[in-house]
Structure 1
Amino acid sequence: MNQKLSPERAETDDEPDEPVLQRPRRKGIYILPNLFTLAALFGGFYAIVMAMNGRFEQAAIGVLCAMVLDSLDGRVARMTNTQSAFGEQMDSLSDMVSFGAAPALIMYEWALKGMGKLGWIAAFVYCSGAALRLARFNTNIGVVDKRYFQGLPSPAAAALVTGLIWVMDDLGFKGVRDIEWLTWLAFATTLYAGLTMVTNVPFYSFKDVNFKRTVPFIVIVAIALGIAVITYHPPLVLFGVFVVYGLSGYVVYGVRKSRGRPVSVIATSTDEPDERGLHR
């Protein structure tokens, strides 16, 4: 038996259904790698507080701890497949505090404050160099040879600056502002680290080291000996390592230049033969 629909019912049935708008799903934040990043940020903040209280050895150790944690957050993210854009931005901001602002402020309080304008200018050169270095790293990440850093990486620059403070404090140099040669050494080290961060000098990144490969037994012995040497006198040995790495880029630059090889780690074209491997 057929039933006739009322006009109102027919109009209602003929109208298309309105699409149901669904709110976009909110993305969460991976907690594990960001915990390492926050811990590195705390290391930089702790270093600033210690420097304000005149405890420069603890300030230097805080920056070094931030270095170790900063090297772990990216590896943890890759191992657990928890990379995110949020984590990348968080890491850059943490690096700016721990390896940009903190070392500049610590060095200023330790030695540069008594130099007047020259002191804070040197500290600012370092701080701005770290900011420019991080911004360039984020924008050039797709065109730089992964085996090298373009300029001195900010954690190494921070280690160079705070390492000098740590070793001199350990050797008993407390009234640094009254020691003219040490003040100028701090001034030169700060400028060197700040300016080297924004150069195009290649520094080995160690990113092509594969920890999953087997190594000869002598490598493990060498690592054990290295740990033993570091524990003998950590401030002096570690600072020596920082100095060697801080100079190594210029050595690589000179060797490449003398052999006629390209010295820039930036690739402008993947078709040119002399730029093979820069996009790997």
Structure 2
Amino acid sequence: MHDGADPVVDQDEAPLRPRRKGIYILPNLFTLAALFGGFYAIVMAMNGQFDRAAYGIFIAAVLDSLDGRVARMTNTQSAFGEQMDSLSDMVSFGAAPALIVYEWALKGLGKLGWIAAFVYCSGAALRLARFNTNIAIVDKRFFQGLPSPAAAALIIGFIWVMDEAGFKGVSRIDWLAWCAFALTLYAGLTMVTNVPFYSFKDVSFKRTVPFIVIVAIALGISVITIHPPLVLFGLFLVYGASGYAVYVYRKVKGRPVSVIATSTDEPDEHGLHH
């Protein structure tokens, strides 16, 4: 007969509460700092300070290149960090450059201006989504399409050069607004192409290098300091065209141009394999 007493629960058999997962601080600090750089750039552009907007984007690009390396070096990779990095990239290298170039030049072109800005912004989103889904099946030595930090540097570098040259009120200067329009479309569409761009991921900082390499790095830094806006824009302009040069070279030599190694998840995407 049931006496109404509560059953005794063995404390050893009580279910344990799942341990809360923490967040690694160091790599995510770099990611948050890169996000702040993109946000700062938008605010500066809204106030017409396009040189400071350029500083924000370029600093964000440097920080973005460091967070992944820091995570790998300190063994602090996490799924949270990967998602945070993608969201930060979308703001700093997708939305921010689109808004900045629109405010700087494209708003004078009416509908065509904001359409070009949207093409760039959506291109960055699509490129990041494709990168995340194809990360396990691509050749690590190459990016599939222009990486978003380089695309942002291409646009912001152009704005920085022209701002330093004294061009103000660019939305009322037709030829310069159309140049910005063409460059924005080029960067946005190149991000979603299958053109291979060298990733520099096979460069190891743990290996020894000849002394001349250090001398070349020192000379490179010296050249950049001569006129940072022009030199940096020139470097990213060359990089932004390098993928097409590699593509043509491989085509001429009869070599495969796709950076996709194997694909079993999406066999219908034939365009990725040619």
TM-score (norm. length: structure 1): 0.90
Give the alignment of 1:25-174 within 5 angstroms: 25-174=19-168
- The alpha-carbon deviation at position 212 of structure 1 amounts to 1.3
Q: Equivalent of 1:197, from 182, 191, 199?
A: 191
In 1, Cα distance between the equivalents of 2:179 and 2:244?
20
The residue that corresponds to 1:278 in the other structure is none
CA distance in 2, matches of 1:233, 1:140: 38
CA distance in 2, matches of 1:163, 1:86: 31
State the one-letter code of the partner of 1:235. Answer: P
Corresponding letter in the other structure for 2:113: G
Match for residue 246 of structure 2 among 236, 252, 257: 252
Partner of 2:197: helix, strand, or coil? strand
2:178 counterpart residue number:
184
Which residue matches 2:272? none
Q: Residues 17 and 254 from structure 1, CA distance in 2 versus in 1: closer, same or farther, beyond 3 angstroms?
A: same
1: CA distance, partners of 2:183 / 2:10: 73
For residues 179-226 of structure 1, the C-alpha deviation after alignment (integer angstroms, 9 at most, x for no partner) is 211111000000000000000000000000111111111111111110
CA displacement, residues 81-118 of structure 1 (integer Å, 9 cap, x when unaligned) = 00000000000000000000000000000000011000
Amino acid at match of 2:79: A
User: 3-state SS of the aligned residue for 1:211?
Assistant: coil
1:24 to 1:186, Cα distance in 2 relative to 1, 3 A? same
- Provide, for residues 122-177 of structure 1, a one-character-per-residue CA deviation record: whole Å limited to 9, x for no partner: 00000000000000000000000000000000000000010000000001111212
1:203 alignment partner, SS class: strand
The Cα RMSD (Å) is 2.1
User: Equivalences for 1:255-274 in 2 at 5 Å?
Assistant: 255-268=249-262
Report the CA distance between 1:248 and its aligned residue. 0.2
Instruction: Name stretches of at least 5 consecutive residues in structure 2 with no aligned partner.
Output: 265-274
Rounded to whole Å, the distance in 2 between the matches of 1:210 and 1:16 is 55
- How many residues matched? 263
User: Take 1:39 and 1:218, find their aligned partners in 2: how far apart are those partners?
Assistant: 33
Checking the alignment, whether the CA contact within 8 Å between 2:137 and 2:263 is kept in structure 1 is no
Q: Distance in 2 between matches of 1:195 and 1:130?
A: 9
3-state SS in 2 of match to 1:75: helix
Q: Alpha-carbon deviation of 1:19?
A: 3.5
Q: Aligned partners of 2:87, 2:223: CA distance in 1, in Å? A: 34
1:38 deviates by: 0.2
In structure 2, give the amino acid aligned to 1:228. Answer: S
- Paired with 1:30 and 1:177, the residues of 2 have a C-alpha distance of 44
Deviation >3 Å, runs of 4+: 15-19
Aligned to 1:275: none
The answer for unaligned runs of 5 or more in structure 1 is 1-6, 271-280
Amino acid at match of 2:117: A
Match of 1:273 in 2: none
Q: Which secondary structure does the structure 1 equivalent of 2:14 belong to?
A: coil
How far, CA to CA, are the matches of 2:176 and 2:169 in structure 1? 10
Partner of 2:268: none
